[in-house]
């Protein structure tokens, strides 16, 4: 099992001009690790981070789009995997933190903690889908996740993160949304 914060810190070391779409627990960790204009936070739309990211990937094929998702969030919108598999965006990387719980909502267990999300992604048409359960393996995979032809899907087996109150106010500041739009315009 992997500490999600350590995995995201390793990923942050490689991020340059990619668009990163993050939701809930992954978003709160990511903003603390790598706050930047090309971050897009999908809070209040559980399950829709991958759909938001797909729209960005289709609109901006010149940029790699990385989704930082959770297992509970993905389960709210599994249909997105079939759409991603059908559209087949070459610039799309989907990283799902699988801890077996709806962590942001108090740690309630997902219906099937043993669900093979990488297998579901493959069955949905995403050929490059795999499960990673060691930090060193994830660190080794990062360069390819940022450059290989997608769509790419990683089910990252992570430990339960901290539970408790989270503040999402900062993610939706008007200035943050404006900075994102300006960064997209800048290329």
What residue ranges define each of the domains in the chain, with the CATH number in brackets?
4-186 (3.40.50.970)
Q: What is the pTM of this model?
A: 0.93
Q: How would DSSP label each residue in the chain?
A: -B-HHHHHHHHHTT-SS-EEEE-HHHHHHHHHH---TTEEE--SSTT-HHHHHHHHHHH-TTS-EEEEEEHHHHHTTTHHHHHHHHH--TTEEEEEEE-SEEGGGT-EEPS-TT--HHHHHHHTT-SEEEEE--HHHHHHHHHHHHHS-S-EEEEEEB-----S----GGGG-HHHHHHHHHHHHH-
- Tens digits of per-residue pLDDT, 105-141? 666 677 878 899 999 999 999 999 999 999 999 999 9
- Tens digits of per-residue pLDDT, 12-52? 999 999 999 998 888 889 999 999 999 998 767 678 999 99
């Amino acid at each position: 099992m992997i500490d999600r914060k350590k995995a995201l810190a390793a990923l942050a070391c490689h991020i340059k001009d990619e668009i990163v779409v993050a939701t809930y627990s992954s978003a709160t960790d990511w903003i603390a690790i790598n706050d930047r204009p090309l971050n897009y936070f999908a809070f209040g739309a559980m399950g829709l981070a991958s759909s938001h990211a797909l729209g960005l990937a289709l609109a901006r094929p010149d940029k790699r789009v990385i989704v930082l998702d959770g297992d509970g969030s993905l389960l709210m919108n599994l249909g997105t995997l079939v759409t991603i598999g059908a559209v087949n965006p070459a610039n799309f990387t989907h990283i799902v933190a699988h801890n077996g719980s709806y962590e942001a909502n108090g740690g309630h267990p997902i219906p099937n903690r043993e669900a093979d999300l990488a297998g579901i992604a493959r069955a949905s048409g995403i050929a490059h889908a795999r499960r990673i359960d060691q930090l060193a393996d994830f660190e080794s995979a990062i360069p390819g996740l940022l450059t290989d032809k997608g769509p790419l899907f990683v089910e990252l087996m992570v430990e339960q993160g901290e539970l408790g109150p989270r503040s999402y106010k900062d993610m939706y500041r008007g200035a943050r949304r404006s900075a994102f739009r300006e960064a997209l315009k800048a290329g």
